Amino acid sequence: MAIALGLPGYRGSQLFSWIHKRGVTDPEEMTNLPRELRDHLATLEPILPMKGGTVLRSSDGTRKLEVVLADEARVETVLIPDGDKLTQCISTQVGCAVGCVFCRSGKDGLKRNLTAAEILGQIFLGRGEHLSGERLSNVVLMGVGEPLHNLERVLSAIELMGHPDGIGLSSRRITLSTVGIPSGIDRLAKATSGKTALAISLHAADEETRKRLVPGVSASLVDIVKALKRYPLPKRRRFTIEYVLVKGINDRDVDARNLVRLLSSLKVKVNLIPLNPHDRTDLMPPDDGRVAAFQKILTSRDVSAFLRRRRGADINAACGQLLA
């Protein structure tokens, strides 16, 4: 930016630090820049291409922020405190083309990709909602959109998040959640040397059920597993497998046994997510007994399986309840 404006390089560092480290996006507040430069910056496109909309605060501490983009499109970002950690869930697209049957975000298809600035900007907006003493410790790309369908911009955002003079969040602390697109997984592996944590939204252990739940992906489960085997997973790290449990569709004992078999060659932990009901689906979660039985089949065969706690359910911030 500084170079494009014909400024010396150190001005670029100053600008970067104001924006990325301190989260200041109003040129007027950049007090170490000369007056003429601040005035000039104020005449350019706004640094933050979005503004905050409604904020909803859950009784469990979760906060959901509406993000209003320059073209009036809207996405959402969620802050999730957990002990001394603060995780922010970030959106990558307006809508989503995959159309998983239980997901509210994809109900109206894809509207557009977010730019790298719009992805990163959610962190700056989120800072305005930090409580005193809170500091962002983790990012999950798990909001609206399929990150591997917008990978180049997501990669730019990940790189900027990691910059030591900026937010300084190393890619180890970033989790990308995807339905599993082998070419995208390979590209991510190369770009971040396998450091970005991967969560794969599998939801099924046989091709037929997978097609039914996740209609918009052509890769087979076998191809996805192969892509994961190629991923340069750092030592002591595991993949997260996300499995939304849907009553009567993927919650039988045989589904759990098939899942164990499918995952047998991978280092994984499974997050079981009983479907969060919402107004755009008739599908339901299994009852608690069925969920426990499913989990038991996995754990008794040495597959770590956790029940994902529902966070922010009272403000529709739980999984699959984010609106496009």
Which chain residues interact with ligand SAH by CB under 6 A?
Answer: 100, 102-103, 142, 146, 177-179, 201, 242, 244, 273, 275-276, 319-320
Contact 72, 304 (CB under 8 A): no
According to the binding rule CB under 6 A, does residue 146 interact with ligand SF4? yes
Query: By C-alpha distance, which of 175, 212, 181 is closest to 196?
Result: 175
When CB distances are held under 5 to 8 angstroms depending on the partner's kind, the choice from ligand SF4, ligand SAH, none that residue 99 binds is ligand SF4
- Which residue in 66, 72, 76, 242 is the catalytic one? 76
When CB distances are held under 5 to 8 angstroms depending on the partner's kind, the choice from ligand SF4, ligand SAH, none that residue 242 binds is ligand SAH
Contact 324, 94 (CB under 8 A): yes
Neighbours of 259 (CB within 10 A): 27
The four Cα atoms 117, 118, 124, 127 give a dihedral, to 10 degrees, of -160
Is 76 catalytic? The answer is yes
Distance from chain centroid for Cα 258 = 27
Using CB under 6 A as the binding rule, the residues of this chain from 95 to 124 that contact ligand SF4 are 96, 98-100, 103, 105-106
According to the binding rule CB under 6 A, does residue 33 interact with ligand SF4? no
Is 319 catalytic? The answer is yes
Q: How far apart are the first and last CA of the chain?
A: 31
According to the binding rule CB under 6 A, does residue 76 interact with ligand SF4? no
When CB distances are held under 5 to 8 angstroms depending on the partner's kind, the choice from ligand SF4, ligand SAH, none that residue 89 binds is none
Distance CA 123, CA 115 (A): 14
Unique residue bearing structure tokens 């496109």: 45
When CB distances are held under 5 to 8 angstroms depending on the partner's kind, the choice from ligand SF4, ligand SAH, none that residue 27 binds is none
- Which residue in 89, 100, 103, 319 is the catalytic one? 319
- Which are the catalytic amino acids? 76, 319
